[in-house]
Structure 1
Amino acid sequence: MAEEREDKQDEGRGEVQGMRRGLLQGVGLAAAMAMLGGVSTPAFAADAAPFPSHKKWKIVFVNHVTTNPFFVPTQYGIEDACALLGMDYQWTGSANADVGEMVNALNAAIAAKADAIAVPIVDPKAFDGPIQKALDAGIPVFAYNADAPRGSSNPRLAYIGQDLYLSGYQMGERIVSLVDSGTVALFIATPGQLNIQPRLDGASDAIKKSGKKIDIQTIATGATVNEELSKIKSFYLGHQDVKGMFAVDAGSTQGVAEVMKESNLPAKGVHGGGFDLLPRTVQLIHDGFLDFTIDQQPYVQGFYTVVEAFTFLASGGLVGPANVNSGLKFVTKGTVDPYLNTETRYEGKSTKSQIVPRSGGIKS
């Protein structure tokens, strides 16, 4: 296992720059964009009909936390892509990460003869059989947000989402740049789930490789925001000598930020950070209570998945599928203002469809 992780680390370093830019890997999505032709003028956007008429294909998105605010922009991405491409979708699954409920929803989509299915593969084995069943029935299946382990036998056609181990490893490198020694808490909502466990593994590996005298404490927080906050508060009350508190999921990250503010931990030299852009997390970064969060771009995890499905269906399976890396971006106090000053579907803070004006240069 140690050798495998070393191999992952070596591979990851070469991919870092490409990941930060959210590179689209393979030909599937590139071909889809070529089919779209590029929205180069307002006339094209308003008037053109680039595709022949087709059935209004339906893609079923199975999700592991259907009501979690993280997936609000994902659903907007799905809606926007479906409107653009003349498709329909269903959002279903489990509200509390119940794999059995997810498998039931996947089987229901197969029975209903969905045209395509998308599912976060949060369990290493549970989805293998149902996904193969869908493929045997002629239904393409795509993983989004969480993928099967490397080297597994899962037959999904492509993965659209962040390189989870690498993102955790980079977070670990950021942690060791902030903390020299002492106790560091790593909070995870549901240990073992493949959408977040690889991040925890990557962060732990980076901290250990640094050689610093950091004592890693791993704490499971639970699947709901209130439960996560309670567990984080309890941990701090029992470990007030902690030097850093970091989380690998959205709800736990918000909880860390809340505890950092409540006890004014930055003033005591404690550092904190995590993942995703829940509004409270973003505000508390601005206020100086959290060092960073990592944006994994949930909007495109919905949008690109629909595009991949459409391209596959429109081409009779000749085009794609291809893995799409949705990228990694550290958001800090110095870069957080645009997230606070705009309200868009792209970050899940507005229902309004809009083109957002951009000013200034582009930062990689």
Structure 2
Amino acid sequence: MERTHTRRPHGRRLPRRLLATVGLFTLAASALTACASGKATDDKAGTATASAAAGSDSGAKSNGKVSVYVIGGKADDPFWSAVKRGGEDAAKVVKAGGGSVTFLGPQNYDNLGPDAAKLTLTALSQNPSAIVVPDWVPDSQDAAIKQAVAKGVKVFVYNSGGVEAARRTGGLKYIGSDDYEAGKAGGVKFAESGAKNILCVNTVPGAANSEARCKGIADGAKSKGATSKQLPLPSSNFGNPSAVTQAIKGALLKDSSVDALVTIGVQDADSAASAIEQAKAGDKVKLGTFDLSTSQLNRIKAGKQLFAIDQQPYLQGFYAVSIANQYLSYGVIPPQNPLLTGPLLVTSDNVAAAIAGTAAGVR
């Protein structure tokens, strides 16, 4: 891929009423013109938030303007483009109030944890009001995040790490999907569709979210009598279609018992589809992936891909920036911790709606 409602191990959609409630809360809080008082409370897995009373340390820096730094992925990564789109839409409210939102990302994923830590420290050097950051590699990033918290910067963990990362580092909230539960949903779907031996292709081995996804796939498959193992590839292969295709093709030719493939992202899913075709295994090997893109949805619609697991990246960017701004400006914060944006399983049953969302640039 953490919420105050019952988790859905089969990846069904979140109740529309819950999503609507959160959305209305976000919009209503953005329109507030006076400070709120009281405290926001987290569930047992989360951390206690700071006081939201007017005049507390929840406000912006001394210049009176909200300054939010958002750390994300590569600029050319389709998933992170959707995250940024959501963040930019939320940033319109920040800018209307005289504040600013700045987006930072690495050049590549070869050294993800240390690079993310450096970006966090870069953001900290600008004296921000808040930092929004994924906790991809805790061993590399936690020290930098804790340093920001120690200096009074409000930190919101999103996308990766879960509520445990927020609790561990002193972040106020986690916003995102539950990667492990998302993986379980995919593993169950594969097994229920007849797969027995699933390969989880991991092009960012060691990253907390990709490891949680593959573990979830394995546990979900096991619960239905199937098995799964990882195919870890060098992180330099991420975004290198030829290298990923050849690695997956080689794995399929080496082990003819593999009857399902799942990838941790959409770029790798395109490579996996090519590998299946080149290995002449299209009539046997089922394909699934985490996240969405037009090519994934078109394959699902055509019956050539079983599923895609959506964590709704637009909502991650939108909610993270909105909540940071609301807390800094008005001292209000949603009580749910974590605030989940997924997982949602996209299959042939609901692919039409997902295609419409992708065309609009929000899925």
Q: Give the TM-score band, short-chain normalised.
A: 0.7 to 0.9
Name the stretch that deviates more: 317-326 or 165-174.
317-326
Q: Which residue of 1 aligns with 2:41?
A: none
Q: Which residue of 1 aligns with 2:90?
A: 81
AA partner of residue 341 (structure 2): S
Shift of 1:31: 5.2
Shift of 1:237: 3.0
Aligned in 2, Cα 1:283/1:187: closer, same or farther, shift over 3 Å? same
Shift of 1:13: 10
- Gap runs ≥5 in structure 2: 36-59
Shift of 1:273: 0.8
- Partners of 2:315 and 2:332 lie apart in 1 by 23
Aligned in 2, Cα 1:144/1:186: closer, same or farther, shift over 3 Å? same
Shift of 1:230: 3.1
AA partner of residue 75 (structure 1): K
Q: Which residue of 2 aligns with 1:154?
A: 169
- Partners of 1:253 and 1:66 lie apart in 2 by 19
SS at match of 1:60: strand
Identical amino acids, percent of aligned pairs: 23
AA partner of residue 29 (structure 2): M
Name the stretch that deviates more: 326-335 or 52-61.
52-61
Does the CA-based 8 Å contact 1:63-1:92 persist in structure 2? yes
- Partners of 1:279 and 1:28 lie apart in 2 by 27
- Partners of 1:118 and 1:194 lie apart in 2 by 17
Aligned in 2, Cα 1:146/1:325: closer, same or farther, shift over 3 Å? same
Match of 2:72 among 63, 79, 86: 63
- Partners of 1:128 and 1:228 lie apart in 2 by 30
Match of 2:8 among 11, 16, 37: 16
Does the CA-based 8 Å contact 1:186-1:200 persist in structure 2? yes
Does the CA-based 8 Å contact 1:254-1:278 persist in structure 2? no
Matches within 5 A, 1:36-185: 36=30, 51=33, 55-86=64-95, 87-97=99-109, 98=111, 99-147=113-161, 150=164, 153-179=168-194, 181=196, 183-185=197-199
Q: Which residue of 1 aligns with 2:288?
A: 273
Q: Residues 17-68 of structure 1, C-alpha deviation per residue, up to 9 Å, x if partnerless? A: 897317869x99875443246xxxxxxxxxxxx5379955221111244431
AA partner of residue 236 (structure 1): L
Q: Which residue of 1 aligns with 2:28?
A: 34
Aligned in 2, Cα 1:13/1:179: closer, same or farther, shift over 3 Å? farther
- Gap runs ≥5 in structure 1: 1-7, 38-49, 348-364
Does the CA-based 8 Å contact 2:130-2:155 persist in structure 1? yes
Aligned in 2, Cα 1:217/1:132: closer, same or farther, shift over 3 Å? closer
Does the CA-based 8 Å contact 2:94-2:100 persist in structure 1? no
Q: Which residue of 2 aligns with 1:192?
A: 206
Does the CA-based 8 Å contact 1:28-1:308 persist in structure 2? no
Give the root-mean-square deviation of aligned CA atoms: 3.2
Aligned in 2, Cα 1:180/1:76: closer, same or farther, shift over 3 Å? closer
